């Protein structure tokens, strides 16, 4: 059995509010505290709201291996990975997936380089990391491919506090008054990044309006993180004459998000790459049926609680949405399965899995 | 189930295409239109060259970490204000430093008054002495050896443990519910909760952190710990000590933090001394203290204002009438309750 360290610190490239990996890192700190370890978070960049809870990377203590372990929250190329590589302590990697460069570099060449670097750094860390754990089986398989000898799955500790936030009344009223004119409401939640493929959801909406539901609307919730891609989406919507039917809601408060979840009819996800995709579970929590393109970790996150499509041809997506909206028996079954899925994927379970991964390293000879 | 449905949907798409209900060329047209929009946006983009990014700039990657330094930002902002506002800013600085000095002195006096007051109250009531022993301000971990830590006993102890464990066990069927005891002293109550099958932890700023025999205690204050706790993560919360010395504003903050930290269905129990006992013991100290115990009805008011429900009060313990306990729960949204979750 290994000597129990005094502290297990976490290192993350960037930590901000309302971000799934950042929230997971804060939760992991809580779990480490509860296990009796001293644990601080060190980041290259941090949101101002987290100042005081997170320290600059330069302050990362460098104690001898048996006293301090370091856990790297990997999701992009970063100097933080180099700080981990040169650290004398025992090393852990918590992998949240790195988007393939080909999906982003057309729009953000610098991001393309960063994700390429991230994958290179991930492979470079493999021989010196004691345990690589991932928030999905899909990500765990990638760790194995990158050369990690010991791996485990510890699900993402999703921020459930937002789920219990009451819906913002003004947004509900606005959405309800639009619904009174007819048509269904589609929803997609995710940062406006190219690999999230908002444009494919817009294509499916255009098909639906031509073929099934001429008054259907789409609400896109999420920060416009890639200006060029966001600009292209605005141009696209305008060119298709869908300006009144597609809403760019941007980054919104938890209450507003709850309003969108409670007012929508279906969540449609056409992402080309997802390491986990927390909004799928959030939608299930809000009894919203899910139609998603089955790529990367999406099938694993949805399991049997949504419609997972083998392709995202706009006609196929539109037909699937139409089926979910008109087949009430299917809709009810999906809602029930979704609630079951959220229960099975509880934060408490994720916390336990994270704690078990740490215990696994402690037990190792 | 859904794989069969997907096969049906694919068959329906084939039928739609065969019947001509899919407008010919629609999908190609949608693709072409997006490519045009993409090209236009990319052409209008401000070019970002590879040399603009840190990783190709020829510097050591590790040396390029640029953390946000609030102290540095503050220093820069102060210098800028001095330059721009000149004498008026310097006057403001002088006034602020005088104000800080005054506030420091006042806080110091109040701490002494509070400490004296608590000592006298503790001497009057045996159980209150144990509850209040964690409420002495200004003591450090180093001086912790002389502290008597709270050990609630008798019918009050039974009530507290029963309320907490019943609510938490009812809520968390799959795993031991997570319970936090703030200002837990040596952790005797934490051990009692663990023995009842709960995943209990303690926090006390004047007691060294430890984790042994299933008892985990962190060196942290109640406000500090709850302020850093992720919303909705505690199944149970036991507040002692800190609740006896809070200013009204701080009491509101504590209750809000407690309510926020509880998961739906979670329970908070607080044990405190009666303010009447404090006044009777030493009215001067009680009047001058910065913080003092609150009445049960005031706690109920604050808890209810923070959205908690199922309020219950335990008082009139014959063995020590100077102590009472209050409990409240966070409501389970109807959406979840009807499905028996969580």
Largest CA distance in chain B: 91
- Are A44 and B232 in contact (CB < 8 Å)? no
B contact test, residue of A208, A236, A331 with most B CBs within 10 A: A236
- Are B17 and A161 in contact (CB < 8 Å)? no
Q: Would you tell me the crossing angle of helices B154-171 and B188-195 to the nearest 10 degrees?
A: 50
* Tokens encoding A275: 């390491």
- Are B174 and A348 in contact (CB < 8 Å)? yes
- DSSP H or E stretch at residue A31: helix A20-34
Q: In this predicted structure, what is the pLDDT of residue B172?
A: 63
Please identify, in words, the CATH class of the domain defined by A163-344.
Answer: alpha beta
B307 and chain A in contact, CB less than 8 A: no
Closest listed residue to residue A95, CA positions, set A147, A51, A31, A160: A147
B29 and chain A in contact, CB less than 8 A: no
Q: Which residues pair with B246 in a beta bridge?
A: none
Q: In this predicted structure, what is the pLDDT of residue A363?
A: 85
Q: In this predicted structure, what is the pLDDT of residue B49?
A: 34
Rounded to whole angstroms, the Cα distance separating B166 from A198 reads 47
Closest listed residue to residue A225, CA positions, set A269, A190, A249: A190
Q: Tell me the per-residue pLDDT of A228-265, one tens digit each, with 9 for 90 and over.
A: 899 999 999 999 999 999 999 998 888 899 999 999 99
Q: Tell me the per-residue pLDDT of A99-142, one tens digit each, with 9 for 90 and over.
A: 888 898 888 877 787 888 889 999 999 999 999 999 889 999 99
- Are B62 and A82 in contact (CB < 8 Å)? yes
Q: Which residue of A has its CA nearest to B265?
A: A164
Q: Residue B31: its chain A contacts at CB < 8 A?
A: 203
- Are B55 and A35 in contact (CB < 8 Å)? no
CB contact residues (below 8 A), chain B span 202-231, against chain A:
209-211, 216, 218, 228-231
- Are A319 and B27 in contact (CB < 8 Å)? no
Sequential DSSP letters for B56-99 = GSSS-SGGG-----HHHHHHHHHHHHHHHHTHHHHHHHHHHHHH
Q: List chain A domain ranges.
A: 7-158+346-363, 163-344
Residue A130 in contact with residue A364, Cβ under 8 Å?
Answer: yes
Chain B: closest CA distance from residue A161 (Å): 5
- The whole-number average pLDDT for the span A204-218 is 96
Rounded to whole angstroms, the Cα distance separating B75 from B86 reads 16
Lowest mean pLDDT among A36-45, A325-334, B83-92, B323-332: B83-92
Rounded to whole angstroms, the Cα distance separating A16 from A255 reads 19
Rounded to whole angstroms, the Cα distance separating A9 from B57 reads 29
> What are the structural domains of chain B?
145-337 (3.40.50.150)
Q: In this predicted structure, what is the pLDDT of residue B82?
A: 57
Task: Say which CATH topology domain A7-158+346-363 has.
Answer: Rossmann fold (3.40.50)
Rounded to whole angstroms, the Cα distance separating A56 from A77 reads 17
Q: Residue B198: its chain A contacts at CB < 8 A?
A: none
Q: In this predicted structure, what is the pLDDT of residue B116?
A: 53
Residue B104 in contact with residue B182, Cβ under 8 Å?
Answer: no
**pLDDT tens string for chain B (342 positions)?**
677 999 999 999 999 999 999 988 999 999 999 999 999 888 876 443 333 332 222 222 222 222 333 344 444 455 555 555 566 655 665 555 545 444 444 444 444 445 555 555 555 555 455 444 433 333 322 223 223 334 477 888 889 999 998 888 877 655 667 889 988 887 888 888 888 888 888 888 776 666 666 667 777 778 877 776 666 778 899 999 888 888 768 888 899 889 988 888 899 999 988 888 777 777 777 777 777 789 999 999 999 998 899 999 998 666 677 889 999 999 876 544 433 333
Q: Would you place residue A276 in the very low, low, confident or very high pLDDT band (cuts 50, 70, 90)?
A: confident
Neighbours of A133 (CB within 10 A): 26
Q: In this predicted structure, what is the pLDDT of residue A314?
A: 97
- Are B30 and A233 in contact (CB < 8 Å)? no
Q: Residue B36: its chain A contacts at CB < 8 A?
A: 239
Q: Smallest Cβ distance to B264: which of A30, A164, A232? A: A164
B21 and chain A in contact, CB less than 8 A: yes
B309 or A201: which leads in pLDDT = A201
* Tokens encoding A357: 């991964």
Chain B: closest CA distance from residue A308 (Å): 7
Q: In this predicted structure, what is the pLDDT of residue A239?
A: 93
Q: Residue A313: its chain B contacts at CB < 8 A?
A: 13, 27
- Are A203 and B65 in contact (CB < 8 Å)? no
Q: Tell me the per-residue pLDDT of A133-185, one tens digit each, with 9 for 90 and over.
A: 998 899 999 999 999 999 999 989 987 777 778 889 999 999 999 988 899 99
Q: Smallest Cβ distance to A307: which of B2, B64, B341? A: B2
- Are B40 and A86 in contact (CB < 8 Å)? no
Rounded to whole angstroms, the Cα distance separating B65 from B220 reads 30
Rounded to whole angstroms, the Cα distance separating A356 from A316 reads 41
- Are A323 and B175 in contact (CB < 8 Å)? no
| Contact pairs from chain A to chain B, CB under 8 Å | 182
Domains A7-158+346-363 and A163-344 agree in fold: yes
- Are A240 and B33 in contact (CB < 8 Å)? yes
A358 class by beta-carbon count within 10 Å (0-12 exposed, 13-18 middle, 19+ buried): buried
- The whole-number average pLDDT for the span A192-206 is 96
Q: Three-state SS for A189?
A: strand
- The whole-number average pLDDT for the span A28-45 is 92
Q: In this predicted structure, what is the pLDDT of residue A348?
A: 86
Chain A: closest CA distance from residue B215 (Å): 9
**Segment of A42-56, A321-335, B236-250 carrying the highest mean pLDDT:** A321-335
Q: In this predicted structure, what is the pLDDT of residue B112?
A: 47
CB contact residues (below 8 A), chain B span 226-265, against chain A:
228-233, 260, 264
Q: Which residues pair with A219 in a beta bridge?
A: A187, A247
A contact test, residue of B14, B34, B69 with most A CBs within 10 A: B34
Q: In this predicted structure, what is the pLDDT of residue B134?
A: 39
Sequential DSSP letters for B239-255 = E-SGGGS--HHHHHHHH
């Amino acid at each position: 059995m290994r000597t129990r360290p005094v502290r297990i610190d976490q290192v993350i490239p960037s930590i901000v509010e309302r971000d799934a990996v950042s929230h997971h890192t804060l939760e992991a700190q809580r779990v480490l505290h509860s296990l009796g370890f001293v644990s601080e978070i060190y980041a290259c960049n941090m949101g101002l709201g987290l100042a005081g809870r997170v320290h600059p990377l330069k302050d990362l203590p460098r104690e001898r291996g048996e006293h301090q372990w370091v856990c790297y929250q990997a999701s992009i190329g970063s100097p933080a990975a180099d700080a981990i590589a040169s650290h004398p302590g025992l090393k852990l990697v918590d992998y949240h997936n790195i988007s393939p460069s080909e999906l982003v570099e057309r729009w953000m060449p610098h991001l393309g380089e960063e994700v390429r670097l991230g994958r290179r750094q991930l492979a470079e860390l493999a021989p010196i990391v004691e345990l690589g754990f991932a928030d999905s089986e899909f990500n765990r398989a990638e760790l194995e491919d990158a050369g990690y000898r010991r791996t485990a799955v510890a699900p993402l500790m999703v921020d459930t506090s937002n789920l219990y936030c009451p819906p913002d009344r003004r947004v509900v009223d606005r959405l309800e008054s639009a619904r009174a004119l007819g048509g269904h409401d589609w929803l997609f939640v995710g940062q406006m990044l190219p690999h999230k493929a908002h444009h494919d959801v817009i294509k499916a909406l255009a098909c639906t309006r031509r073929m099934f539901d001429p008054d259907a609307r789409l609400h896109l919730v999420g920060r416009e993180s890639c200006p060029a891609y966001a600009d292209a989406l605005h141009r696209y919507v305008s060119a298709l004459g869908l300006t009144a039917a597609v809403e760019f809601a941007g980054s919104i408060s938890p209450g507003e998000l709850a309003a969108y979840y409670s007012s929508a009819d279906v969540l449609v996800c056409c992402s080309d790459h997802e390491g986990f995709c927390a909004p799928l579970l959030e939608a299930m929590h809000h009894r919203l049926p899910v139609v998603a393109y089955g790529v990367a970790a999406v099938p694993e996150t949805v399991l049997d609680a949504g419609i997972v499509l083998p392709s995202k041809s706009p006609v196929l997506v539109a037909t699937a949405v139409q089926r979910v909206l008109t087949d009430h028996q299917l809709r009810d079954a999906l809602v029930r399965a979704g609630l079951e899925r959220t229960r099975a994927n509880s934060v408490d379970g994720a916390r336990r899995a994270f704690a078990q991964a740490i215990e696994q390293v402690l037990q190792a000879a | 189930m859904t794989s069969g449905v997907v096969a049906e949907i694919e068959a329906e798409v084939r039928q739609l295409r065969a019947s001509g209900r899919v407008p010919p060329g629609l999908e190609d047209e949608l693709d072409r239109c997006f490519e045009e929009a993409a090209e236009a946006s990319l052409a209008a983009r401000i070019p970002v060259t590879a040399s603009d990014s840190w990783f190709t700039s020829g510097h050591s990657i590790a040396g390029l970490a640029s953390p946000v330094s609030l102290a540095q930002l503050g220093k820069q902002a102060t210098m800028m204000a001095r330059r721009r506002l000149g004498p008026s800013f310097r006057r403001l600085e002088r006034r602020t430093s005088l104000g800080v000095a005054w506030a420091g002195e006042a806080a110091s006096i109040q701490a002494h008054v509070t400490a004296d007051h608590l000592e006298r109250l503790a001497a009057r009531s045996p159980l209150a002495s144990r509850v209040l022993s964690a409420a002495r301000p200004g003591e450090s971990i180093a001086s912790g050896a002389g502290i008597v830590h709270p050990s609630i006993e008798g019918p009050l102890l039974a009530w507290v443990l029963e309320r907490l464990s019943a609510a938490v066990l009812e809520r968390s069927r799959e795993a031991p519910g997570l319970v936090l005891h703030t200002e837990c002293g040596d952790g005797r109550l934490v051990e009692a909760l663990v023995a009842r099958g709960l995943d209990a932890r303690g926090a006390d700023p004047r007691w060294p952190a430890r984790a042994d025999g299933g008892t985990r205690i962190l060196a942290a204050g109640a406000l500090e710990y709850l302020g850093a706790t992720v919303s909705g993560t505690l199944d149970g919360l036991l507040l002692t000590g800190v609740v006896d010395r809070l200013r009204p504003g701080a009491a509101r903050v504590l209750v809000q933090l407690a309510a926020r930290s509880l998961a739906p269905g979670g329970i908070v129990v607080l044990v405190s001394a009666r303010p009447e006992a404090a006044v009777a013991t030493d009215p001067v100290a009680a009047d001058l203290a910065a913080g003092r115990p609150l009445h049960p009805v005031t706690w109920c008011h604050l808890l209810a204002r923070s959205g908690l429900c199922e309020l219950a009060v335990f008082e009139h313990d014959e063995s020590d009438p100077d102590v009472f306990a209050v409990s409240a729960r966070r409501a389970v949204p109807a959406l979840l309750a009807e499905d028996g979750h969580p």
